[in-house]
Structure 1
Amino acid sequence: MADLRSDDRAQVLLVAGFVLAASFVALTLVLNSVIYTENLATRGDDAGGGDAISYRNDVADGLESMVESVNRNGSTQPVLRDKLSRAVVSTSRRAAQFQVLRGISANATLVSVEWGTRIGQNRTTGNFTNSTVPASADVASDWTIATGVEGTRSARINVTDSSELALSSNDPLEVQVTDGTPWTLTLFKNNSAGTTTAIRADPPSGPSRVCSAGSDPTIGLTAGTINGTDCPALEYGEGISTPYTIAVENGRQFQGTYSLVVDEVIDSTDIEHDNYGTAPDVPFALPAVYAATVHVEYQSTSLSYATDTRIHPGESDD
Structure 2
Amino acid sequence: MADVSVGPPDRDRLFGADGARGADRAQLLLVAGLVMAVSLVTLVVLLNATIYSENVATRGIESADGEALEVRATAVDGTGELIDATNRAAPDSHDDAAAEVRDGVTDLDGELSRSYAERGGVARVELSSVRNGSRITGTIAGNGSVDPNAATLATDVSRTRGFALDVDPGSLNETDSAGAVDDAFHVDLDNSTGGSHQLYVYTNETDGNVTVAVGEDGSVPTARCAVPPDGRDRVTVDLTGQRLGDRPCPGIWPTALAPPDDAYNVTLANADAADGEVTATVRPVSEDAVTSNPDLTATPAVYEATIALRYRTAELRFETAVRVAPGEPDA
> What TM-score results when the alignment is normalised by the length of structure 2?
0.67
Give 2:125's match in structure 1, choosing from 103, 108, 116: 108
Aligned counterpart in structure 2 of residue 142 of structure 1, from 129, 146, 150: 150
Distance 1:206 1:164, change over 3 A: closer
1:55 aligns with 2:71: yes
Provide the residue aligned with 2:211 in structure 1: 198
Q: Who is 1:230 aligned against?
A: 248
1:74 to 74, 81, 90: 90
Q: 1:293 aligns with which of 306, 323, 327?
A: 306
SS of the equivalent of 2:174 reads coil
Length-normalised TM-score, structure 1: 0.69
1:250 Cα offset (Å): 1.3
Partner of 1:177: 189
CA distance in 1 between partners of 2:288 and 2:82 (Å): 25
The partner residue of 1:252 within 272, 291, 305 is: 272
Give CA-to-partner distance per residue, 1:158-181, whole Å, 9 cap, x none: 01x222222235722121112253
Maintained 8 Å contact 2:253/2:329: no
| Partner residue of 2:140 out of 118, 124, 127 | 127
Describe the SS at the equivalent of 1:139.
coil
d(CA) in 2 for partners of 1:68, 1:250: 29
Q: Deviations over 1:222-267 (max 9, x none)?
A: 1111013111451336587532221122112211111111111787
Equivalent residue runs for 1:149-168 within 5 Å: 149-159=157-167, 161-168=168-175
Residues 148 and 95 of structure 1: is their aligned pair in 2 closer, same or farther, counting only changes over 3 Å? Answer: same
Shift in Å at residue 201 of structure 1?
Answer: 1.0
The residue number in structure 2 matching 1:84 is 101
User: Structure 2 residue aligned with 1:311, among 294, 314, 324?
Assistant: 324
> Which secondary structure state, in structure 1, belongs to the residue aligned with residue 254 of structure 2?
coil
Structure whose CA Rg is larger: 2
Counterpart residue type for residue 275 of structure 2? Q
Q: For residues 182 and 128 of structure 1, do their structure 2 counterparts lie closer, same or farther at Cα, with a shift above 3 Å needed?
A: farther
Q: Could you tell me whether the CA contact under 8 Å between 2:132 and 2:287 is conserved in 1?
A: no
Aligned in 2, Cα 1:317/1:298: closer, same or farther, shift over 3 Å?
A: closer
- Residues 100 and 164 of structure 1: CA distance in aligned 2, closer, same or farther (over 3 Å): same
**Are the counterparts in 1 of residues 162 and 328 from structure 2 also a CA contact under 8 Å?**
no
What SS is found at the alignment partner of 2:240?
Answer: coil
Q: CA deviation at 1:64?
A: 2.2
Q: Which residue of structure 2 aligns with residue 4 of structure 1?
A: none
Q: How far apart, CA to CA, are the structure 2 residues paired with 1:182 and 1:163?
A: 28
Distance 1:213 1:73, change over 3 A: same
Kept in 2, the 8 Å contact 1:221–1:236? The answer is: no
Question: What do you get for the CA RMSD once the two structures are aligned?
Answer: 3.5
Determine if the alignment matches structure 1 residue 272 to structure 2 residue 284.
no
Report SS of the residue matched to 2:103: helix
User: Tell me, which stretches of 5 or more residues in structure 1 are unaligned?
Assistant: 1-34, 277-281
% identical aligned pairs: 24
Q: CA deviation at 1:139?
A: 1.8
Question: How many residues get paired?
Answer: 264
User: How far apart, in 1, do the equivalents of 2:128 and 2:314 lie?
Assistant: 26
CA distance in 2, matches of 1:317, 1:46: 27
What secondary structure is seen at the aligned counterpart in 2 of 1:252? helix
